[in-house]
Chains A and B, each alone.
Chain A
Amino acid sequence: MLLKMASAVQQDLSDVDWLVMRARSFPKSDPYSTKAWLITAKSLYPESFVFQFESYLVEKTGKNVDEAARYLQDMLQNFPNEPRLWSEVHSILESLQKESQDQKVTFLTDLFAAIPTSTQCVMLLRVSETISDVLERCQLLLLAMKKFPNLVKEHGLKLVEILVTEETNSGIVNNPVNCYRKLLVCDVMPLVLQKGGHLEVNKFHLYLWLQRATEFYVSYVSQPHALDPNAENVEMNLIFTDGNKSRGLTELDMQVADPWGSLLKLLLLIGQHLKWDMEMDLVIKTKEHQIQSLQHQLMRVKLHGSEIYNKQILHTAMVLFVHSMVNYVSYVDAESCSSGSLHLVPIVLVEGLASSMSASPVNPRSKKQKLDSLAPSIQCSPNITSSVAILQCFETAVKCYDILNSTEDMKLEFYNLCQKWRKETQTMKSYFLADMAIYQGNYEEALAQLSQLPATTNPKMKMRHSLQLAGCYFFLKQYLKACELVVDLIETIPCGSSISSLWSACDGTEDRATRSLLLLQCVDGEILPFCLQFLIVALKEKMMSPHRTDSTLAHLIILLQFDWPKQEALFCEVIATIQKQASFTYNAFFSYVHQVDILEEFAFLDTPEGGKVNLDIMPNSTKALAQQRTVTRGVNKGVKEDFKATLEKQVGSVMEASHVLIRRFLKEERAEILSNFV
């Protein structure tokens, strides 16, 4: 019955459809019968595509690579206009671009491999012509060129052009990290430059290529958390896919393994095409070697002074600049910079405090002159492990920046090259420029750069910011602003932090002919001693001026207790000043001075040998008492005894830890301290 019904349905089918139906009617476990029917059907209808395709599908299902490849090859020859065939080819080519271990993908890849090269080539080109999505088409063309490098000559430049046009049309050109740029810079350019032989390209195009590449890589490395696979990055997704999931590359596809290596390689390749004077086989050398060689080459052609080298200088300096700048800033802004994720403590460059006296900006010599003749030295905190590398990056960046600003033309070109940088990159540049201005003693410029930095919530970065601002104000002689910043900064440091003494570099004992800067880690243990030293130097500055008060001297003495007796020399200067003025009034003295040596020194000041200084340091003003008790001598005597007793009592009492004492002092006397600088 069932049989009859089935056959009734079958009667209505055309012969061809019936044959297809019969061939498909066998279970997958019986490929023999299916194939037998298909052979017969093909024999009956040799011009019919459907049986060929069915045969192909059977072999594909059976995972018979060679047979399937043979059918495919035949169909491509005999039925070149069948849409189903081309959609199959399309899916094969798609699987070639995946790096999946999926069985289906591997099979299709093997299938492609089993097809003769000439046919592969036809497949790739034909399919790439039919794809409407530009990105997809470019990817396929790229694949074709990778597999068949002799296609590069014909299609390479065309592909570059398509990508550039599409990037412009898509409107995402403002963000250099987009899918078209990625394909262009990371895949197409190297391929075309390597395999394209002699390129029929205007050399200005090559400069443009290099500019696009530099823009891409510098933006790529400066984008937030680009390399963190766990980071959710909605913004990035939006950019890559241009709001449309099917267009664009996946986040994984957007990743670049070795951005700097790639950029350097591109620079070298383009350099070769432009016949730049370069080491021949630089491409295969290590990155360190490449950078060094480029630096030397840069200096060499710079010395030559000929205009024809301008472009080479510009682009080489540019690449080296962004490389060293980004690298340096990755240490500065450790958190928001992708490549710096390994060293999470930011570093801060500050003016060394010892040199403040002689190298203050009132010095009439111009900064430029100073930099050329006597480059300031930078002392690094011993806690910074990669200090050599950091300093090298900084130096290179400074050198390249100078070169890029050495002539008006160069300046303009450099300005243009930086125009399309994304916000993050511009911020990096500001970080660097601020440090460079500080390094060059150009404090107004430094303040300007610092003011352009985005607000941060990271306490370490805040600390860094305040410290640099304070430094600038200090050297601009705006002591009040400077010290206010520093006192506030100290407030933010929790009391429990372990404090080490500032290492010897800023003890102020070294040669004062050259300026010296400090590179510190933004950790409490390094920042707090620096801040205290900062206040000491500020107070000392005040002490030297005619506007000093007894409070200035007293505050200085209190602060010098920190890390006593390291700064005994300065203490002696203060004492000498007190002796010279023969009187000293500071009624909070016993609240904050506990150091035995200092107390003894004051006891001595009171004696005839000590100069019989008129000390008014008791909590209740001696002067006031004296005024009350001028009647008899004996009263004064009592005051003297009070002083001695208080001194002895102070020596006997348990000492507060000096840094706790000083913090209490800074807190309680904040207004007093700042009033020194009004």
Chain B
Amino acid sequence: MAGNILNRLFRLNFPDCTREALSFLTSYISQDCPAIPGLNANTEQVIVEICQEFVLFKSVRGPQKKLTAVQELHLLDMICTCFSEAPEKSKYRIFNLMFGAHGDGTVNLLTKLVSLALSVRCTPVLFCAAIWMQERDSLSPVVKGLTQRLVSDYCILYPDHSNVFSTLPSVCPLFACNFVTAVTSLYSFAGIDSLPPLALLQHVSDWVFKDNTMCCESLRQAAIHSAYTTPVPGLTGWCVRGPLVCCQLKEKVSDSQISQSHIESLLVCLEKLHLALLQSLTFTACVNLSPGLISASDLTHIAQTLQVVSRPNPSQEEELACNIALERLAQILQVAANTRTYIADRGKIKELESLAKHKLPQNRLLAMVLSNQLQGIKPYSVIVTS
């Protein structure tokens, strides 16, 4: 009888066919994929086919069915509803069936789906997408593509304060976390050409400031999904390089599109973000979630990139900015070490020390922190405050 399912669906028109297909898929997956009577082999095959034909509309048989824009919106809405109603344990399996390993031709639809899910605050879709990002690695091109689209939808097209974005961490913290990681690789803040949009920076600094656990959401999933990246190294890079890059940008204000006040706003956001990172480190340490948020190599790498960004014969302003950069690096280094966020690798610290001594301008705080680190690993003391 279930063999007829395909036939029956083929007889239906959009949107009925899709609705039927989604409900069939949901109930099938929720029942732990029972053998479909009358279909001895290839049950999997049938399921995939249903998904391809009636959800993704990537026909393997006949001519490609093309949905109109309105129909496509209808389709996305039905998918969101489907995820909202599906049993908890089945959600990601359904998601995986749709957007899993089967080629990247579905990314376009996925991007639209996530964008819609953001605006309608559909947590299940966002959560699945976040897992998907984590499994694909938040720094991979596919994920970057998705991120790029979202940034342009929510931060560039409408740079005004977006309500959808500002509440994201409360709607789906894991998504916000992986999104931020992706964003830091999309905009490295390593030069004038890789500045994050101001609206985006405002949102990100706000999120981290208000929710000190947001940065460790991906880490918490690490037990289930072995792969993870955290936003902390990328954000630290922003905070450290940011002042110097902005300083260099100021000098070019005349021939760039960016105004002085825009740069000032970026700098204020970075100050807030930097504090938010320190607070996140100390806070997550209290609940023992900090280890792994950032590594010694990450910090060394950031120091190296700073060296790349800084120019020989710097102006006095640049010197000041570089000083701020080093102090921020030192602060993150100190607090991260003290909260056992990274494994204190003497070799790496040594490397960093020699970098600081020979390749970077002198900085009292950094020197103080490094010597403190090298004096031996201090006993772990719980930072009660902040």
Chain B at the A interface: SS class: helix
Within 8 A of B (CB), among A638-668: none
Known A18-B364, A40-B334, A40-B365; contact A46-B383, beta-carbon cutoff 8 A: yes
A594 to chain B, nearest CB (A): 102
Contact of A44 among B282, B316, B368 (CB under 8 A): B368
**Which of B331, B339, B383 is within 8 Å of A36, CB to CB?**
B331
Number of A-B contacts (CB under 8 A): 65
> Contacts A32-B271, A55-B385, A74-B385: A43 and B316 contacting too (C-beta < 8 A)?
no
Q: How far is the CB of B144 from chain A (nearest CB, A)?
A: 29
CB-CB under 8 A from B278, the residues of chain A are 35-36, 39-40
B-side contacts of A295, CB under 8 Å:
none
Residues in A whose Cβ lies below 8 Å from that of B385: 42, 52, 55, 70-71, 74
Q: Which residues of B contact A33 (CB under 8 A)?
A: 271, 274-275
Q: How far is the CB of B369 from chain A (nearest CB, A)?
A: 7
Residues 248-297 of B at the A interface (beta carbon under 8 Å):
271-272, 274-275, 278-279, 282
B335 CB-CB contact with A under 8 Å: yes
Q: Does A37 contact B (CB under 8 A)?
A: yes
- Is A30 part of the contact surface with B, judged by Cβ < 8 Å? yes
Say if the beta carbon of B384 comes within 8 Å of chain A: yes
Query: Interface residues of A: mostly helix, strand, loop or mixed?
Result: helix
Question: Which residues of chain B have C-beta atoms less than 8 A from A78's C-beta?
Answer: 384
Nearest B-chain residue to A29, judged by Cβ: B268
The yes or no answer to A563 lying at the interface (CB within 8 A) is no
**A42 contacts B383, CB within 8 Å?**
yes
A15 near B316: Cβ-Cβ < 8 Å: no
A interface footprint on B344-386 (CB within 8 Å = 1, 0 otherwise)? 0000000000000000000011001100100000000101111
Chain A residues, CB < 8 A from B372: 44
B115 within 8 A of A: no
Name the CB-closest residue of B to A47: B381
Q: A36-B331, A39-B331, A43-B338 are in contact. Are A3 and B275 (CB under 8 A)?
A: no
Please give me the residue from chain B that is nearest to A40 by CB atom. B331
Residues of B within 8 A of A36 (CB): 271, 274-275, 278, 328, 331
B330 within 8 A of partner (CB): yes
Mark contacts of B153-190 with chain A using CB atoms, 8 A cut-off: 1 yes-contact digit, 0 otherwise.
00000000000000000000000000000000000000
Interface flags, A16-37, vs B, CB<8A=1, else 0: 0010001000000010110111
Cα–Cα distance between A36 and B330 once the two chains are bound (Å): 11
Q: Given A18-B364, A37-B331: A43 and B275 within 8 A (CB)? A: no
Q: A57-71 CB contact bits vs B (8 Å, 1 = yes)?
A: 000000000000011
| A15 proximity list for chain B (CB < 8 A) | 368
The CA of A67 and the CA of B306, in the complex, are separated in Å by 34
Query: Hey, what's the 0/1 contact readout for B307-348 against A, CB within 8 Å counting as 1?
Result: 000000000100010000000101100110011000000000
What is the 8 Å Cβ interface bit string for chain A, positions 86-98, against chain B (1 contact, 0 not)? 0000000000000
Residue of B nearest to A77 (CB): B384
B279 partner residues in chain A, CB cutoff 8 A: 35, 39
Cβ-defined contact, A3 with B316, below 8 A: yes
Neighbouring B residues of A52 by C-beta, 8 Å: 385
Q: Known contacts A40-B331, A40-B365, A52-B385: does B275 contact A32 (CB below 8 Å)?
A: yes
A43 close to B384 (CB less than 8 A): no
B384 A74 Cβ-Cβ under 8 A: yes
Q: Is the beta-carbon distance between B386 and A55 smaller than 8 angstroms? A: yes
Q: Which residues of A contact B274 (CB under 8 A)?
A: 32-33, 36
CB distance from B234 to the nearest CB of A (A): 18
Residues of A within 8 A of B384 (CB): 74, 77-78
In contact, A43 and B364 (Cβ under 8 angstroms): no
User: Roughly how many angstroms separate A555 CA and B320 CA in the complex, as a whole number?
Assistant: 114
What is the chain B residue whose CB lies nearest that of A78? B384
How far, in Å, is B200 (CB) from chain A's closest CB? 19
- Separation of A15 and B367 alpha carbons in the complex (Å): 11
Q: Which residue of A lies closest to B362 (CB)?
A: A7
Distance to closest chain B CB from A660 (angstroms): 93
User: What is the bound-complex CA distance between A3 and B315, given in angstroms?
Assistant: 13
CB pair A39–B364 under 8 Å, yes or no, is: no
Chain B, residue nearest A71 (CB)? B385
A71 to B385 Cα, complex, angstroms: 7
A43-B271 in contact given A3-B316, A18-B364 (Cβ < 8 Å): no
- Shortest distance from the beta carbon of B207 to any chain A beta carbon, whole Å: 15
Contact of A43 among B272, B320, B328, B335 (CB under 8 A): B335
Which of A10, A43, A71 lies at the interface centre, i.e. has the most chain B CB atoms within 10 A of its CB?
A: A43
- A403 CB to nearest B CB, Å: 67
Q: Which residues of A contact B334 (CB under 8 A)?
A: 40, 43-44
Given A3-B316, A52-B385: A40 touches B330 (CB 8 Å cut-off): yes
Q: Are B271 and A39 in contact (CB under 8 A)?
A: no
**What chain A residues lie within 8 Å of B365 (beta carbons)?**
22, 40
State the Cβ distance, B286 to closest chain A Cβ, in Å: 12
Contact bitstring B14-53, A, C-beta under 8 A = 1, else 0: 0000000000000000000000000000000000000000
Whole-angstrom distance from the CB of B173 to the nearest CB of chain A?
22
Interface membership of chain A positions 213-243, coded 1 if the CB is closer than 8 angstroms to chain B and 0 otherwise: 0000000000000000000000000000000
- List chain B residues, Cβ under 8 A from A39: 275, 278-279, 282, 331, 335, 386
Most A Cβ at <10 Å: residue of B275, B320, B339, B372 = B275
Nearest CB on A from B137, distance (A): 30
Residues of A close to B381: CB separation below 8 A: 46
Which of chain B's residues has its CB closest to A55's CB?
A: B385
Write the nearest CB–CB distance from B347 to chain A, whole angstroms. Answer: 22
Docked Cα-Cα span, A30 to B274, in Å, equals 12
Q: Is the CB of A30 within 8 A of B282?
A: no
State the CA gap A591–B245 with chains docked (Å). Answer: 120
Give the residues in chain B near A18, CB-CB below 8 Å. Answer: 364
Determine whether the beta carbon of B369 is less than 8 Å from that of A44: yes
Q: Bound state CA distance, A498 and B101, in angstroms?
A: 115
In the complex, what's the smallest C-beta–C-beta distance from B363 to chain A, in angstroms?
Answer: 11
Contacts of A22 in B (CB 8 A): 365
**Measured between C-beta atoms, what is the minimum distance from B239 to chain A in Å?**
10
Chain A residue with the shortest CB-CB distance to B209: A32
Residues of A with C-beta under 8 A to B386? 35, 39, 42, 55
Give the docked Cα–Cα distance between A32 and B383 (Å). 19
Residue numbers in A under 8 Å from B331 (CB-CB) = 36-37, 39-40
The complex places the Cα of A77 from the Cα of B385 at a distance, in Å, of 12
Tell me how far the C-beta of B208 lies from the nearest C-beta in chain A, rounded to whole angstroms: 12
- Residues of chain B contacted by A40 (CB below 8 angstroms): 278, 330-331, 334-335, 365, 369
Chain A residue, CB-CB nearest to B281: A39
- Across the interface, which residues of B come within 8 angstroms of A30, CB to CB? 271
A35 to B276, CA, bound (A): 10
Of chain A, the residue at the smallest CB distance from B269 is: A32
Cα distance A10–B316 when bound, in Å?
A: 19
Q: How far is the CA of A43 from the CA of B341 in the complex (A)?
A: 13
Complex Cα distance, B278 from A619, in Å, reads 119
Cα(A32)–Cα(B274), bound, Å: 8
A55 to B384 alpha-carbon distance, docked (Å): 13
A410 CA / B204 CA spacing, docked (Å): 85
Bound CA–CA A43/B380 (angstroms): 11
Beta-carbon nearest neighbor of A11 in chain B: B364
What separation, in Å, do the CA atoms of A313 and B104 have in the docked complex? 101
A35 to B280, CA, bound (A): 13
- A550 CB to closest chain B CB (Å) equals 109
* Chain B residues with CB below 8 A from A71, complex form: 385
Smallest beta-carbon distance A29→chain B, Å: 10
Best-buried of B274, B278, B368 by chain A (most CB within 10 Å) = B278
Closest 3 CB pairs of A and B: A32-B271, A40-B331, A43-B338
Q: What are 5 sample pairs from A and B whose C-beta atoms fall under 8 A apart?
A: A35-B278, A36-B274, A36-B328, A44-B369, A55-B385
Other contacts beyond A30-B271, A43-B335, A44-B334: 15, CB < 8 A = A33-B275, A35-B278, A35-B279, A36-B271, A39-B279, A40-B278, A40-B331, A43-B334, A43-B339, A43-B383, A44-B338, A44-B368, A44-B372, A77-B384, A78-B384
Q: Show the binding face of A for B, using Cβ within 8 Å.
A: 3, 10, 15, 18, 22, 30, 32-33, 35-37, 39-40, 42-44, 46, 52, 55, 70-71, 74, 77-78
